[in-house]
């Protein structure tokens, strides 16, 4: 039974602090260090919480090779999401796209190709030609598209990234980091779960040519459902992988491995380590009432409080019994209050170390009450203040 689902409702007249702790016996098992990874940089991160479980050189600015295409498809997904683009739209294949060297989807000069096909050509076949075609279709030219990539990178907090093209072919001042790629991948999965399914496809046929996804983990590990490989002489062999087991999703990034097998093996080692020694729990469901607080001078006497989104905790295995939650609610809540207003906090700790701190928000708006309600509550508040002062 999950004790975090048994939190009772309270009627608040002031500051509430609720704390509870599971007291079941649990064996203390030390979490071993992460495995040694033979790569230039790497990171292992929990998808839901962002907690980093292993890392080395994760902020180094490195050539991303075709991992660039994760940002390319993210930008296109954003355009699809805001209605500026549609999957059935067709893009004209320019000479620049057609001539782009490296891995290819084999689009033909002057042809009209559906956006959906181009996306699958980028994701599954790692087509440089498809990447350029999409960039030109979305932004008019690749330079403008790169500006869009950098704007999204800044918005997401990718502080060690700068993009100059859509395909990842080597260029000066074109770089990213393992941590930034984990941030980007988490955003892509969270924002576009319907499109993300393409990253698990093992092959794609276009123009009567079938090509296989280079992500070897898709065939090795059924829990892996993405994400993208990359290689250039500068970047080495790279892979961003993601897997989900028992509702826990991990993202691993390995940059600068020595071979295709090595990048798969090193990612597999990271994922196995994370799933073996850590666990992720949803403690509270977003948009669901956790408490009901007293609100003064409103058209309602109470206001439901909760979280904007689900609250997860990533912890070492067998330490769930040591989790502790504290809820703080503002002492005086006075109408009007708009839905989403911050009215307190939820803090979760593990053995006195805080691991989560989320805003407690109003789940609905409460308007100002009529004059009778306002006057009555004013008197009650004065009486309460007077009692507190005695």
pLDDT category at 29 given cuts 50, 70, 90 is low
Position 387 scores a pLDDT of 60
How far apart CA 284 and CA 326 sit, in angstroms, is 13
Position 127 scores a pLDDT of 98
The percent of residues in the chain predicted with pLDDT above 70, rounded, is 91
Cis omega before residue 227 (within 30°)? Answer: yes
Count of CB atoms situated within 10 Å of the CB of 129: 29
Position 24 scores a pLDDT of 35
32 has a pLDDT exceeding 70? yes
58 has a pLDDT exceeding 50? yes
The percent of residues in the chain predicted with pLDDT above 90, rounded, is 84
How far apart CA 278 and CA 199 sit, in angstroms, is 25
User: Any residues with CB less than 8 A from the CB of 255 and at least 6 apart, and which?
Assistant: 39, 40, 41, 42, 62, 64, 67, 178, 181, 235, 236, 238
333 closest CA partner among 370, 372, 361: 361
140 has a pLDDT exceeding 60? yes
- What the block records as the tokens of 152 is 């999204």
Residues with a catalytic annotation lie at 66, 69, 126
Domains identified in the chain and CATH numbers = 3-26+283-389 (2.60.410.10), 41-257 (3.40.710.10)
| Average pLDDT score over residue span 147-172 | 98
Position 372 scores a pLDDT of 82
Overall pTM surpassing 0.85 (yes/no) = yes
Position 168 scores a pLDDT of 97
Position 389 scores a pLDDT of 56
pLDDT category at 25 given cuts 50, 70, 90 is very low
How far apart CA 175 and CA 178 sit, in angstroms, is 10
Count of CB atoms situated within 10 Å of the CB of 21: 11
How far apart CA 335 and CA 98 sit, in angstroms, is 62
Contact 53, 276 (CB under 8 A): no
> Which spans in the chain are helix H?
68-81, 95-99, 115-123, 128-139, 142-156, 178-191, 193-196, 217-220, 260-277, 371-389
90 has a pLDDT exceeding 90? yes
How far apart CA 91 and CA 76 sit, in angstroms, is 13
User: Any residues with CB less than 8 A from the CB of 82 and at least 6 apart, and which?
Assistant: none
- Which residues does residue 52 pair with via DSSP β-bridges, in sequence order? 45
Mind listing the pLDDT tens digit for each residue in 322-380? 999 999 999 899 999 999 999 999 999 998 899 999 999 999 999 998 888 788 868 78
DSSP one-letter string for 140-195:
SSHHHHHHHHHHHHHHHT-TT-B-S-SS----TT-BB-HHHHHHHHHHHHHH-HHH
Mind listing the pLDDT tens digit for each residue in 289-321? 999 999 999 999 999 999 999 999 999 999 999
How far apart CA 280 and CA 278 sit, in angstroms, is 7
| Average pLDDT score over residue span 276-281 | 96
Contact 45, 53 (CB under 8 A): yes
- Range name among 134-143, 261-270, 348-357 with the lowest pLDDT average: 348-357
Task: Compare 218 and 18 and report the one with higher pLDDT.
Answer: 218
Mind listing the pLDDT tens digit for each residue in 220-232? 999 999 999 999 9
Task: Compare 388 and 321 and report the one with higher pLDDT.
Answer: 321
121 has a pLDDT exceeding 60? yes
| Average pLDDT score over residue span 4-30 | 40
């Amino acid at each position: 039974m999950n004790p975090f689902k048994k939190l009772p409702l309270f009627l608040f007249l002031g500051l509430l602090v609720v704390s509870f702790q599971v007291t079941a016996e649990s064996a203390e098992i030390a979490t071993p260090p992460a495995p040694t990874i033979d790569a230039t940089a790497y990171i292992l991160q929990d998808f839901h919480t962002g907690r980093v479980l292993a890392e080395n050189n994760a902020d180094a600015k490195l050539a991303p090779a075709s991992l660039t295409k994760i940002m390319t498809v993210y930008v296109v997904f954003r355009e699809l999401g805001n209605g500026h683009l549609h999957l059935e739209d067709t893009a004209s294949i320019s000479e620049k796209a057609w001539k782009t060297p490296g891995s290819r989807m084999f689009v033909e000069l002057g042809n009209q190709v559906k956006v959906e096909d181009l996306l699958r050509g980028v994701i599954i076949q790692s087509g440089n030609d498809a990447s350029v075609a999409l960039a030109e279709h979305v932004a008019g030219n690749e330079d403008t598209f790169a500006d869009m990539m950098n704007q999204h990178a800044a918005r997401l907090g990718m502080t060690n990234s700068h993009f100059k093209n859509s395909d990842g072919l080597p260029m000066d001042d074109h770089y990213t980091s393992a941590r930034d790629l984990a941030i980007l991948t988490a955003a892509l999965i969270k924002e576009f779960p319907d499109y993300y399914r393409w990253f698990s496809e093992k092959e794609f046929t276009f123009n009567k040519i079938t090509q296989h996804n280079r992500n070897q983990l898709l065939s090795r590990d059924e829990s892996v459902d993405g994400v993208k490989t990359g290689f250039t002489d500068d970047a080495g062999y790279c892979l961003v992988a993601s897997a989900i087991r028992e509702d826990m999703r991990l993202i691993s990034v390995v940059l600068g491995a020595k071979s295709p097998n090595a990048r798969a093996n090193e990612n597999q080692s990271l994922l196995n380590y994370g799933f073996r020694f850590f666990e992720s729990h949803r403690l509270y469901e977003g948009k669901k009432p956790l408490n009901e607080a007293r609100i003064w001078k409103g058209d309602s006497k109470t206001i439901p409080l909760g979280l904007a989104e689900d609250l997860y905790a990533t912890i070492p295995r067998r330490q769930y019994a040591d989790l502790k939650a504290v809820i703080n609610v503002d002492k005086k809540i006075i109408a009007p209050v708009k839905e989403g207003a911050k009215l307190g906090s939820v803090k979760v700790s593990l053995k006195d170390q805080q691991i989560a701190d989320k805003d407690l928000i109003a789940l609905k708006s409460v308007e100002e009450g009529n004059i009778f309600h306002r006057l009555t509550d004013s008197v009650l508040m004065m009486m309460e203040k007077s009692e507190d002062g005695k």
